[in-house]
Structure 1
Amino acid sequence: MKKVIIFITIILVLFSPRFYWMFKSAAALDIAVVDKTVPKKDYREHNGLFWILENKKIVKPNGELYDIGRDYFGYDPYEQKETVSYDVTRNVDLIYIADTYGVYSDDLQDLPEGERTQKVYGGMDLLEWNAVMESKGKDTTLIAEFNSFAEPTDKVTRKIMERNIGVVWSDWIGRYFKELDSSEIPPWLIRNYENQYKEKWDFKGPGLAFVHTSDRVVVLGKHDVKDFVSVQLTQQGEKQLDGVSSSNYMYWFDIVSPMEGSDILAEYELHLTSKGEEQLIQSGIPTKFPAVVHHAENKTYYFAGDYTDYPKKSLAKWEKAPLLLKGFSNDDSQFYWSTYVPLMNEVIEKIIEQKRW
């Protein structure tokens, strides 16, 4: 009998986070998500957000959990077509523009080659953006991420989106790569570099690559880069974002500047040698630029990176799972658990508190 009691006690302790999640109260929020980059059934470009919603037990107004495969506007990987254009006619609590880059013919292959191919679907058009803004009431929080207004969105729509969100894009994007000779390097990036500089791509080891909308590229190799790209909270960010930590960031980002009225809550810092800094200065690229921009009055945030792009799916229905998974994070996942998850927790809690009043 004693062994049975011990066994039951161990099971209860081990599964107590799961039991706690099951019995804790849910919070209802009306959320509209736009993700036009869904070529595969992993829903990777908005998975990170939906993991948080499930973990926090955020439910739809009807009491159901948000469904990652149905509760978004964008591309349906099963039917291989657009789900439905944004048609929300009510004021919602949160609008999240995860990605509008779209789906291209190469993306639909079993083994994509990373080439720029024919667009199947993508971009934000002005009519749809107007529909987004019509559903944004004065108390609605609007979040947009990297590639919300870049190509293939037309320039007129882009300028209006920038004004509504409170940022201006410089036309530059970039990424840190652990290995510049790996399969992660897009073939078009190598081709553009070789065409521009008339020399073979022979980079090895870590480095940074920047790409302009004109297809101009700037590449810093291992002798120019001293460390990862990091996201650091500003003084304003430290005041507003309790529990959010600085971290390394390993994915694509864009270089933006805030409009009047917007605050920079976090910045990217590039850790370069003097030679690397000089190369960027000559190209008009800063070594420090915004990562999170917030316009408090308009209740908008711009995340200048692929923040919700994260493949993790397990343990969502376990209380305090983020703390556990943060402890096991590595270079690739550190940003998600240390910065993005607590950042979104702060944003969501503010929305919930606002609704109480």
Structure 2
Amino acid sequence: MQEELKILFSRLLLFVIFLLVIPGLSYGIWWIKQNKEFGIILLDKTVPNTLYSEHRGLFWIFEHEKFVKPKTQEFYDLELDYFGFFPTTDVDNEVSIKDFSIMDSFEKSSLVSSNEVLIIADTYGVYRHDDSANGNSQLANQKLYGGLDASDLEIISLAQEMGKTIISEYNSIASPTPVPIRSQFENQMGVKWTGWVARYFDELDTLANSGLPSWLVTTYKSQHQEDWSFKGPGLVFVHESGRIEIFDSRSDYQNQVPLIRTPRQNKAGFILPEVVPYPDWFDIVLIQRDYEVISYYDIKPTDEGLERLRGMGLPRFFPAVVFRPNQTGRIYYLSGDFSDLKLNFGSPRFWGLATLWRGFYSVTDYRDRQSFFWNYYEPLMNQILNQAYMAQKEKN
């Protein structure tokens, strides 16, 4: 009986240690770690609701790494500390916007000079979904707000001139950004959009996949004058002109899901998984020679697929994450909708939590966005931000 009690007590003790002591120790280590004063400007024009899905993951990283606002020493607030569109719960549904367009030149210069990083998370915008539009897509999706504008370009120019770190992510320059504004952005950043975006679908059969966009099927049939006969996995390429091309995983390419590859010995020294599957939207860009590639997309096209890519004006590999120096800062471009995460990450106030979650989520599980966040996006942004923070400390 005494032996059984000892065994029970030892198991109970282990349970208490696991449940209380380890989390308490993790929280304690996070708490005693020094705050990092680090000025961050974040632009997010795609905030249709209070999920804040386009910057939620970023703010989790900010707090987990203990980045605080320089003047107040406060942590960044997910709901307040960004520029762009602010969702409202008012019955009148009045639009709430706080962006750079309301600032004069002095205010813009002061804003940029007092911060170290500019993040352009998403500029696609917010649209009014009108149920009374009777199927008219133009009426049903009226833009309330979105797209880069001249005031955004002015902030980007100031950040470049002052040697700040700039991080831009898909969708920063595609629709609804006007072409003249996009051209200026491309010239400033040294990144040119090919006009193509792409996405993987597990199932292209319309009978088996009700989530396949109806406009995709209708437009393809109209353009190609043929039935939609695709089945199984495939890649959808959509051009800004409206052109649609479908790559079949059995004949056009060999990697079922597009892979993000990161060379182990990359010049930038980033520590990331060598191969990560990525199934969501990404834009295909061309970069100037002074850019260094951290990661790239590989679909492993067949000979037929490679010929099709060439006919579309596309290369064999597509940049995924690239950067180039900007005085003491860096300019990054992320060619993927990486930050779009409608997830509850739990409290960021536990040291080592990101490492723990990486152990729970398989890097090959492309269907779970948690896996992509913990295995690729979190360590990527963690290293980018901490590199910028250390550069700031050395400069000061």
Using structure 2 for the length normalisation, give the TM-score: 0.81
Give yes or no for the alignment of 1:157 onto 2:181: yes
Alpha-carbon distance in 2 for matches of 1:327, 1:271: 28
Q: Give the distance between the partners of 1:152 and 1:130, measured in 2 at CA.
A: 18
* Contact preservation (8 Å) 1:175, 1:250: yes
The equivalent position to 1:274 in structure 2, one of 303, 306, 314, is: 303
Determine the C-alpha separation between the residues in 1 that align with 2:283 and 2:117: 23
Match in the other structure for 2:118 = 95
Residue type of the partner of 1:193?
Y
* Residue equivalent to 2:97: 83
Query: Is 1:336–2:346 an aligned residue pair?
Result: no
Based on CA coordinates, which of the two structures has the bigger radius of gyration? Answer: 2
Q: 1:327 to 1:9 in 2, by over 3 A?
A: closer
Following superposition, the deviation at residue 217 of structure 1 comes to: 0.6
Which residue is 2:317 aligned to? 288
Question: Per-residue deviation at 1:210?
Answer: 0.5
Q: Deviations over 1:236-255 (max 9, x none)?
A: x7231332223111211111
Match of 1:203 in 2: 230
Q: Confirm or deny that 1:325 pairs with 2:357.
A: yes
Aligned partners of 2:17, 2:277: CA distance in 1, in Å?
A: 39
Identify which of 266, 286, 297 aligns with 1:238: 266
User: 2:305 aligned with 1:311, yes or no?
Assistant: no
CA RMSD of aligned residues (A): 2.5
Pairing partner for 1:12 from 21, 29, 41: 21
Match of 2:247 among 220, 240, 244: 220
Task: Report how many aligned residue pairs link the two structures.
Answer: 350
1: CA distance, partners of 2:323 / 2:85: 28
Report whether the alignment pairs 1:35 with 2:44.
yes
**1:300 matches 2:338:** no
1:139-180 superposed Cα distances (whole Å, 9 cap, x missing partner)? 310000112111111111111111222211111111111222
Of 3-12 and 137-146, the range deviating more from structure 2: 3-12
Q: Conserved in 2, the CA contact under 8 Å of 1:241 and 1:343? A: no
Shift in Å at residue 355 of structure 1? 2.1
Q: Secondary structure at the match of 2:151?
A: helix
Give the direction of change, closer, same or farther, for the CA distance of 1:348–1:190 in structure 2 (3 Å limit).
same
Cα offset for 1:127?
2.7
> Does 2:105 correspond to 1:73?
no
Which range is displaced more, 152-161 or 237-246? 237-246
Cα distance in structure 2, aligned partners of 1:54 and 1:275? 48
Q: Secondary structure at the match of 2:25?
A: helix
Instruction: Identify if the C-alpha distance between structure 1 residues 328 and 275 changes in structure 2 by more than 3 Å, giving closer, same or farther.
Output: farther
**Alpha-carbon distance change, 82 to 179 in structure 1, aligned in 2, over 3 angstroms:** farther
Shift of 1:311: 2.4
Match of 2:171 among 139, 147, 150: 147
CA distance in 1, matches of 2:374, 2:259: 14
Identity within the alignment, %: 34
Answer whether contact 2:286 2:319 (CA < 8 A) is retained: yes
Does the 8 Å contact 2:263/2:294 carry over to 1?
yes
Equivalent-residue separation in structure 2 for 1:328 and 1:271 (angstroms): 29
Q: Which amino acid aligns with 1:32?
A: I
- 2:280 is aligned with 1:251: yes
Distance 1:321 1:39 in 2: 29
Distance 1:63 1:313, change over 3 A: farther
Cα distance in 2 between the residues matched to 1:60 and 1:183 = 45
AA of the residue aligned to 2:49: K
> Which stretch of the first structure deviates more once superposed, 82-91 or 283-292?
82-91
Partner Cα separation in structure 1 for residue 123 and residue 236 of structure 2: 22
TM-score (norm 1): 0.89
Counterpart in the other structure of 2:3: none
Instruction: Out of 171-180 and 272-281, give the one that drifted further.
Output: 272-281
Letter in 1 for 2:163: D
Looking at structure 2, the residues matched to 211 and 229 of structure 1 have their Cα atoms a distance apart, in angstroms, of 16
CA contact (8 A) 2:160 2:326 kept: no
Name the stretch that deviates more: 261-270 or 181-190: 181-190
> Does residue 1:356 correspond to 2:384, yes or no?
no
Question: Secondary structure, in 3 states, of the residue corresponding to 2:30?
Answer: helix
> Which runs of 5 or more structure 1 residues have no equivalent in the other structure?
none
Give the 3 Å change call, closer, same or farther, for CA 20–313 of structure 1 in structure 2: farther
What is the one-letter code of the residue matched to 1:187?
S
Distance between the aligned counterparts of 1:139 and 1:175, measured in 2? 34
1:183 offset after TM fit, Å? 4.1
SS at match of 1:96: strand
Please tell me whether the aligned partners of residues 167 and 258 of structure 1 are also in contact (alpha carbons under 8 angstroms).
yes
Correspondence 1:264 to 2:312: no
Contact in 2 for aligned 1:45/1:98 (Cα 8 Å): yes
